[in-house]
């Protein structure tokens, strides 16, 4: 049986405990107790989350665990010397040590991330890099595995992190089954962006939201202003003005961002040729796609493909 320690502290983000469900459902899927999860804290006893909900914990010791997971919080908190010592011991004794969201700050303070690639919630990535320059922070990642150390973005990214662990331990079919039971996407690759083009646009009206949803579902089409205006039931001139007022972008710029996001996902999760990806995402040819990637991401598709093939967390899906 693999023992998993979830480290909590006063003010921790209770959503991080959703990760436990993936371990629990893996047990149910295989009909045997493969994982045993313990909640640990520095003091033991009841520990209040940032929401006020309390969880009962055991005081952490130097006991051996297969996996140690440091939870995060809505703010970046400092790790106590005792917690740092425990995390250092865990790196020596456990098979893997992980952090969720701002839990990466505790791992960094304990020295576990020096010289390693790591991620955290996008809102704290800059602070993590500034406080710990020896860490190779990659702010736009769902999760990263660098040797025995795993780090994830914030909030629901904890589920992607643990599904990847389940996949590593039990194989892709088991992880897919757990994801289905959790009613979540199986699993977002670690290299996938934390951001969504649709979320960044934040349209205010149903009319513009409907138009963007249509565009995302039909990226292979031309998606001219006239096409989109027809979906919105506006004249092209009215549509362009309304779209810019609500999103801050022109329709053409927004469509390009949607296409880049779709192409990036295909590049990082599959083996399609760049020519096929360019057609599927609506660019038509690789050169148009390359120029759009340079404008939007600052690097060509080939660089993303090389990086994806080198990332160990993506190799788990192979």
Residue 56 bridge partners (DSSP): 46
- Report the CATH number at residue 218: 1.10.10.60
**pLDDT, tens digit (0-9, with 9 covering 90-100), for 185-233:** 555 554 455 555 555 666 778 889 889 889 988 999 999 999 999 999 9
The span from the CA of 269 to the CA of 317, in Å, is 8
- 191 in a structural domain: no
- pTM for this predicted structure: 0.65
- Report the CATH number at residue 89: 3.40.50.880
Q: Is residue 83 located within the same domain as residue 214?
A: no
Opening angle at CA 122, ends 119 and 125, nearest 5: 60
Q: Is residue 176 located within the same domain as residue 231?
A: no
- 245 in a structural domain: yes
The span from the CA of 90 to the CA of 107, in Å, is 11
Q: Is residue 165 located within the same domain as residue 17?
A: yes
**Number of domains making up the chain:** 2
Number of helices followed by number of strands (H, E) in the chain: 15, 10
Question: Which of 48, 26, 93, 101 lies closest to 70, judged by CA?
Answer: 101
- 316 in a structural domain: no
Is the predicted pLDDT of residue 18 greater than 70, yes or no? yes
Q: Between the CA of residue 307 and those of 6, 137, 300, 313, what are the distances in Å?
A: 31, 15, 11, 11
- 190 in a structural domain: no
**pLDDT, tens digit (0-9, with 9 covering 90-100), for 23-79:** 999 998 888 889 999 999 999 999 999 999 999 999 998 778 999 999 999 988 889
Q: Is residue 236 located within the same domain as residue 165?
A: no
**Domain region containing 224:** 197-310
């Amino acid at each position: 049986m693999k023992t998993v320690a979830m480290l909590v502290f006063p003010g921790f983000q209770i959503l991080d405990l959703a990760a436990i469900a993936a371990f629990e459902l893996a047990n149910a899927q295989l009909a045997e107790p493969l994982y045993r999860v313990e909640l640990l804290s520095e003091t033991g006893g009841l520990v209040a989350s940032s929401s006020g909900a309390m969880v009962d914990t055991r005081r952490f010791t130097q006991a051996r665990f297969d996996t140690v997971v440091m939870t995060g919080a809505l703010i970046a908190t400092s790790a106590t010397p005792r917690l740092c010592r425990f995390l250092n011991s865990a790196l020596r004794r456990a098979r893997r040590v992980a952090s969720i969201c701002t839990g990466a700050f505790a791992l960094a303070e304990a020295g576990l991330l020096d010289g390693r690639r790591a991620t955290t919630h996008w809102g704290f990535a800059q602070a993590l890099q500034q406080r710990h320059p020896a860490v190779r922070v990659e702010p736009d990642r769902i999760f990263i595995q660098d040797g025995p150390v795993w780090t994830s973005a914030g909030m629901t990214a904890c589920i992607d992190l643990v599904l990847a662990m389940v996949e590593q331990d039990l194989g892709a079919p088991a992880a897919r089954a757990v994801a289905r039971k959790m009613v979540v996407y199986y699993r977002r690759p670690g290299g996938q962006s934390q951001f969504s083009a649709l979320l960044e646009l934040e349209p205010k009206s149903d009319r513009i939201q409907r138009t963007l949803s249509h565009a995302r579902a039909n990226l292979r089409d031309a998606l001219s202003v006239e096409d989109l205006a027809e979906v919105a039931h506006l004249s092209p001139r009215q549509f362009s003005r309304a779209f810019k007022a609500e999103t801050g972008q022109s329709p053409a710029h927004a469509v390009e961002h949607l296409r880049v996001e779709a192409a990036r996902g295909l590049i990082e999760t599959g083996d399609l040729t760049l020519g096929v990806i360019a057609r599927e995402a609506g660019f038509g040819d690789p050169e148009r796609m390359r120029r759009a990637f340079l404008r939007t991401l600052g690097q060509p598709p080939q660089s993303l493909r090389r990086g994806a093939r080198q990332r160990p967390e993506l190799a788990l899906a192979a």
